[in-house]
Chain A
Amino acid sequence: METPNPKRIDLIFSNYTTSKYKVLERTLQRHPDDIITELMDSGLKGRGNVGFPTGMKWKFARREEADAKYVICNANESETGTFKDREILERVPRKVLSGMAVCGYCTGAKKGIIYLRHEYMYMKDHLQNELNIFHEYAGQYNLDFRVELFLGSGSYASGEESALIESIEGYRAEPRNKPPFPVTKGLYGCPTVVNNVETFATAQVIFRIGAEEFIKLGTAYSSGSKLFSISGDTNNAGIHELELGTTVEDVVKEFGDKNIKAVQVGGASGYCIPQRLFADTVIGFEGLTTGGSMIFFNNSRSMYKVLGIPSLFCRGIMRALYAMPRGHTTIAERY
């Protein structure tokens, strides 16, 4: 049977209880190797943009021998047009904290840090309150894992994991040369897992429904679903969870206004897709990888003006981006 495209999913925001940390409690009964294997079977890849396999990252950090290890949640969501992490932290913070806690349990890290971008300072008290509740539960489950908030001071580049670590250490948020990668030498030289907010929340979803269910969604190379931040010329602006592997055309049909002529996918360091490529452009790790930003432009827009805005923005950050995995080529070619 034909399923409507794109397939709307409701995993990240659903099944949220504020009374207990049920999924966490259940997951902590399992052996760390077993949990990591499930995460690898699920095919989960980082939801920030780059798409590194999450299970592998955790596995690398687990096998390191060190006195201290860290788990960092990257909440420096700064990519143009992205606001999904803010919604996750506001609406389902316990899923994120569960994901972090399980990561701590698997890798042997005892300390977690949420790096919250300055622009989201308004939710500091809300998160601090959630952390207090989390610590009570962690105590009940005999889990030695504490999470702290670290507030950013306004820096797009901190979204890159090694730059983020520099920032926590008190330096300018400039990316480090790699290798070594943070999983071997990260915060204060210790093995560190840095994952995006949505990645931790999605890991929690996988622990709840199981890898087998998760890989029924998406494609062989891009399993599962993902949140998209949709804005611009649309009456459906907001967060929508969709199966990976859909085409830009499907997304435009479902959410866009009439006469959409281009879509900016992945924000300022992403790609601007013109109408003629809508049908052939797949959203997923085999096509366009994205943190989820989608800005629609209709016929009334001047693309000259539209592209002028990110180029202004890029000039300011280009130097800071030089060590980013994809950013430097993309921006240099496009602007």
Chain B
Amino acid sequence: MPETKTLIKDYVGAHGNARSNLLPLLQEIVSLENFLSEESLLEVAQVMQLSPAEVYGTASFYNYLDTVPRGKYVIRLCRNISCMMRSQAEILSSLSALLKIRVGETTSDGQFSLLQANCLGWCHKAPAMMINNEVFTDLTPQKAEQIIKEFKQK
């Protein structure tokens, strides 16, 4: 949190507190902390001179501005039609078994969160998933497990 406080102060110091800086600032906090805590949102509201409800209301609208704690690596498995047609469900269950968590949960060591996402835009290489901002396509259960194992060693 002290780090986040500094980030907020520095960001607003450099760019000003115009409303159009709100989303870029929230994005910076998410890349630092993986989610937006209540403390962070309150701090943003104070520094940007907005009401906390305004800040929370804006943040909670967007899928990638999480307001609940997430792991260091957020896995987002695409759940769209083309991915579903190519055995997305099998990949979901193998990831779930490997990490011992269900969709929406985070591993107890805080390393991985498992989520599903709307169309990621890789239908021709389905099924697809993102881990943080990195994209993985043409998944099979084995390939997905291998990717997670590599992330575990990072």
Contacts and interface: CB of A to CB of B under 8 A. Distances in A.
Interface of A: 77-83, 86, 117-122, 151-156, 167-174, 229-233, 237-239, 264, 267, 293, 295, 297, 301, 305-306, 309-310, 313
B122 A83 contact: yes
B42 interface: no
A306 B124 contact: no
A283 to B, nearest CB: 18
A169 B62 contact: no
A121 B81 contact: no
19 contacts: A78-B121, A80-B119, A82-B119, A82-B121, A86-B121, A117-B121, A118-B63, A118-B64, A121-B133, A151-B27, A153-B62, A154-B117, A155-B61, A155-B63, A156-B118, A172-B57, A232-B123, A295-B82, A306-B85
A306 B133 contact: no
Nearest to A169: B20
B82 A231 contact: yes
A155 to B, nearest CB: 5
B22 interface: yes
A13 B38 CA distance: 47
A81 B140 CA distance: 20
Nearest to A84: B121
B23 A153 contact: yes
Given A232-B82, A309-B80, 20 more contacts: A78-B118, A79-B119, A80-B80, A80-B118, A81-B82, A81-B119, A117-B121, A119-B121, A120-B121, A121-B133, A122-B134, A153-B64, A153-B65, A171-B19, A174-B61, A229-B123, A231-B123, A295-B81, A297-B85, A310-B81
Contact of B123 (A120, A295, A310): A295
A82, A119, A152, A310 — most chain B CB neighbours (10 Å): A119
Contacts of A118: 63-64
Given A78-B118, A80-B119, A82-B119, A171 B58 contact: yes
A293 B58 CA distance: 30
A254 to B, nearest CB: 15
A184 to B, nearest CB: 20
Nearest to B84: A309
Contacts of A77: 121
A171 B18 CA distance: 12
Contacts of B61: 155, 172-174
Given A170-B20, A171-B58, A231-B124, A306 B63 contact: no
A151, A232, A233, A267 — most chain B CB neighbours (10 Å): A232
Given A83-B123, A231-B126, A232-B85, A170 B80 contact: no
B119 A168 contact: no
Q: Which 9 A-B pairs have the closest CB atoms?
A: A154-B63, A231-B123, A153-B62, A237-B124, A154-B64, A170-B19, A170-B22, A172-B61, A231-B82
Interface in B25-49: 26-27
Nearest to A157: B61
B79 interface: yes
A109 B148 CA distance: 46
B51 interface: no
A238 B24 CA distance: 32
B148 to A, nearest CB: 18
Contacts of B117: 119, 154
Contacts of B79: 309
Given A83-B122, A119-B120, A151-B27, A170 B65 contact: no
Given A231-B126, A295-B123, A81 B81 contact: yes
A153 B63 contact: yes
A183 B26 CA distance: 29
Contact of B133 (A80, A122, A153): A122
A230 B30 CA distance: 34
A293 B123 CA distance: 10
Contacts of B19: 169-171
B133 A172 contact: no
A151 B24 contact: yes
Contacts of A233: 85
